[in-house]
Amino acid sequence: MKKTISTLGLLLYIAPAIVILSSCSQTQKKEMNPPVAKKIPHEMTMHGHTRVDNYYWLNQRENAEVIAYLEAENTFTDEYMAHTDEFQQKLYDEMLGRIQQTDISVPYKQNGYYYYTRFEEGSEYPIYCRKKDNLEADEEILLNGNEMAEGYAYFQIGGLQMSSDNNLLAYSIDTVSRRQYTLYIKNLTTNEIYTDAIPNTSGNMAWANDNKTLYYSIKDETLRPHKVLKHNLGSSPSEDKEIFHEADPTFYAFVYKTKSMDYIVIGSTSTMSAEFRFQEAGKPETPFKLFQERQRDMLYSIDHFADHFYIRTNLDAQNFRLMKTPVVNTELVNWTEVIPHRTDVLLEDFDVFSNYLALSERKEGLINVRVKSWDNVNDYYLDFGEPTYMAYLSTNLDFNTDKLRYGYTSLTTPNSVFEFDMTTKEKTLLKQQEVLGGYNPDGYQSERIYAISHDGTKVPISIVYKKGIKMNGQNPLVLYGYGSYGASMDAYFSSSRLSLLDRGFIWAITHIRGGEELGRQWYEDGKLLNKKNTFHDFIACGEHLVAQKYTNADKMFAMGGSAGGLLVGAVVNMRPDLWKGIVAQVPFVDVVTTMLDETIPLTTGEYDEWGNPNEKEYYDYMLSYSPYDHVEAKDYPAMLVTTGLHDSQVQYWEPAKWVAKLREVKTDNNTLLLKTNMDFGHGGASGRFERLKESALEFAFMLNELGINK
């Protein structure tokens, strides 16, 4: 239910403001008085160093004054941007108009059924369906997300798992946006939803092959998946047996069934270590067997085929290698190499077939799909033919086929699913995202260029723009980045982005350290005590784009979300003069305070990413870049900061405190807006159309700062 700001909130947080009409001028808008959060000094001492946080009190989600302040900020943002309402609607209509509303995914076959999802005209959520034996059979609707979402401001279907007899569907639902899923079981013969609903799960589950035993993981008070339980159909969830408990707060527990459907696997992973256990899926009464005990700095993951488990691991292989071991002897001593380690190639993924092995490998920042026959007669790479793109192994559930499904997209090519014959090398386009409104990829240009960072490192940048624009230094540009967790930001297509490109914008994606674009070392060089490389790389990319006359500092915007919000928060402190504006989406900006609070989700599990500030070396280093701690009296560019009240990853109070402190000390009159979605969490809106409104606001903010209103 939509909340409105209370009279108390207005009195507490907003001084009298000029009434703003939709046709008001930029000058009139700047006369508005923004909310002023009250200051309650809170001292925090660690390692003999004391910090004073005047806005620490904002971390009380249930406090009426906190809600009132957030609502006051929302009201200020709405009124400040009111003159763009029609423009936002136009942007939204443009983005919506490019979407094929009645749509269907490429069906895949599993255990005698073809499964797919489809959307209907005007609907926000997918409908999950299947057909028996062939695609001409009658459709069976498994779940209709639109009917299930009625009455909820937020609705998300998590994992779905089908029992071996195709009769029972286990699925999970989140209606709060805290990623705490309630697990349900549906009988597909009777359409009955059983009463044994299970709350507080991670949304992750796996059926044993007896069609009555379901394994699932649950979360602790910090939202860390820490236990795997076993549920017997028809019994009360209160009777569910604990199978595995991960006591180490830096690890996360989960469960899955192998591609072969022969084994249930319980995994527990941290940033730098992993451990797995397995059980025959047809014998749920037997104990799980340890695959290989965890070792510090050894990561591995497993899947099964025939008599072996296949293992992707960084054991003596920084960029990972592929190994295998007999099912009967899984200890490390029995592992043998299938694909060796290479210093210039990162092994990202693999898929096993009866005659072939498909590999996803990253070299020089780009994904290559490699096909290798077991008899070593064939070993080749697919040719994608573009300078920058994104490719990935798709849904491949059948061992006994020579057909490989893979996905492909680029900055100019809509997402596409191909079927590739690994023997004949013929490929078939099964589906390409349809972009309505006359989109022509030939009207746009993509490039990959390199910037030189502070230490001489070459940093890739992927760029897209509309053909015909002049590189005269006068183009508006969005520089997007992430640079954490080893997550690579590949060059993918976005139909929404066309609303900026068609107005003369350039869109640039930075492949900065902290991701894995250039291998595992690229990640290592952008985390822990090397984290500042991420920020220096991003700044170098911005400077290079200005020097090469793609844009200038009065027309360049920095954008990033979550850990990418940390990125833009850090660079705006380091180089506020380089940006016209900042869009910080759910930004992780209060690094030290959060990483010292073990009750907050994600803290303990991320010591290997950011460091443990209980150790002085890491405390001092974090403090040297934490955006919130480095806000000071100087001019900042225009800023739009977004968050969600129910965010489970970055708590809402981080961006809220950041904006409050910026309002207090910054010396400029530039725009500063905080938008808190009171119904959503980290991922924003759950509906496919509703989230376009968030993009429309972000685009309108940037365009408005440049004086573009059409």
Active-site annotation holds for 682: yes
Active-site annotation holds for 220: no
Give φ, ψ of 7 to 5 degrees: -60, -40
SS3 424: coil
- pLDDT over threshold 60, residue 686: no
Structural domain count, the chain: 1
Domain assignment present for residue 370? The answer is no
- pLDDT over threshold 80, residue 482: yes
Note whether 664 and 658 are within 8 A (CB). no
Residues 135-148 pLDDT 10s: 999 999 999 999 99
Residue 682 structural domain: 439-705
Domain assignment present for residue 545? The answer is yes
CA distance 283 to 281: 6
CA distance 436 to 395: 26
Residues 650-670 pLDDT 10s: 889 999 999 999 999 999 999
- Indicate the length of the chain as a whole number: 710
Domain assignment present for residue 209? The answer is no
The number of beta carbons lying within 10 Å of the beta carbon of residue 532 is 16
Q: How much is the average pLDDT of 64-84?
A: 96
**Measured CA angle at 582 (ends 607, 76), to 5 deg:** 105
Note whether 621 and 529 are within 8 A (CB). yes
- Looking at residue 25, what is its pLDDT? 36
Identity (one letter) of the amino acid at 599? Answer: T
Domain assignment present for residue 89? The answer is no
Positive or negative CA dihedral for 122, 127, 131, 134? positive
Domain assignment present for residue 261? The answer is no
Q: Which residue has the higher pLDDT, 364 or 276?
A: 276
CA distance 612 to 528: 9
- Looking at residue 683, what is its pLDDT? 57
Q: What is the CATH number of the domain that holds 699?
A: 3.40.50.1820
Give φ, ψ of 637 to 5 degrees: -70, 175
Which residues touch 484 (CB under 8 Å, ≥6 apart)? 514, 515, 526, 527, 534, 563, 564, 566, 567, 609
Q: How many percent of the chain have pLDDT more than 70?
A: 94
3-12, 53-62, 561-570, 574-583: least confident range: 3-12
- Looking at residue 177, what is its pLDDT? 74
Active-site annotation holds for 172: no
- pLDDT over threshold 90, residue 178: no
Note whether 399 and 354 are within 8 A (CB). yes
Domain assignment present for residue 537? The answer is yes
- pLDDT over threshold 70, residue 63: yes
Q: What is the dihedral of CA 313, 317, 320, 322, to 10 degrees?
A: -60
- Looking at residue 565, what is its pLDDT? 96
Q: What does pTM read for this prediction?
A: 0.87
- Looking at residue 15, what is its pLDDT? 31
Query: Rounded mean pLDDT of the chain?
Result: 91
- Looking at residue 223, what is its pLDDT? 83
SS3 331: coil
Domain assignment present for residue 36? The answer is no
- pLDDT over threshold 90, residue 192: yes
Which residues touch 583 (CB under 8 Å, ≥6 apart)? 557, 558, 559, 560, 568, 639, 640, 642, 698, 701, 702
Domain assignment present for residue 472? The answer is yes
- Looking at residue 13, what is its pLDDT? 35
Which of 562, 648, 686, 695 is the catalytic position? 562
- pLDDT over threshold 50, residue 4: no
